[in-house]
Amino acid sequence: MFVKNNIELFCSDYMQDKFQRFMSVDYQKHYDLKIEKINEGIICPLELADGRKSFEDRAYGGVCYNDLSFCELSCPKRFKGDSPIDTVQWFIGANPNLKKSDIGRIDEEVFSEEY
């Protein structure tokens, strides 16, 4: 049994080790949030990238500039596998098969907080 901060774990040593590693990481962001104004930006829905079976990493979607290039600032990072410090990019921008002529237009201001 492992006890920390009044948490008792009744599990294998392997799982206790994983728990200790995850509890030792400071997951809070320690930098100022950034805001970028994108004129005529495009919000692409999440969709599976070629050959992927889940949205775990590198799905199409996210905020793009008017030329369909990806706005990196809009991309949250996800934790990768068992590692509490390795991250992967969750989505990678517009599907390369997307044509601007197929995109509907809604003229409104969008603000997103990612923290």
pLDDT of 115: 45
Query: How far is CA 55 from each of CA 5, 23, 50, 73, 115, rounded to the nearest angstrom?
Result: 34, 25, 11, 19, 20
- Supply the pLDDT for residue 15: 86
pLDDT averages per 10-residue partition of the chain, 115 residues: 66 84 75 83 84 71 89 75 64 84 80 57
Please report the pLDDT score of residue 65 as a whole number.
92
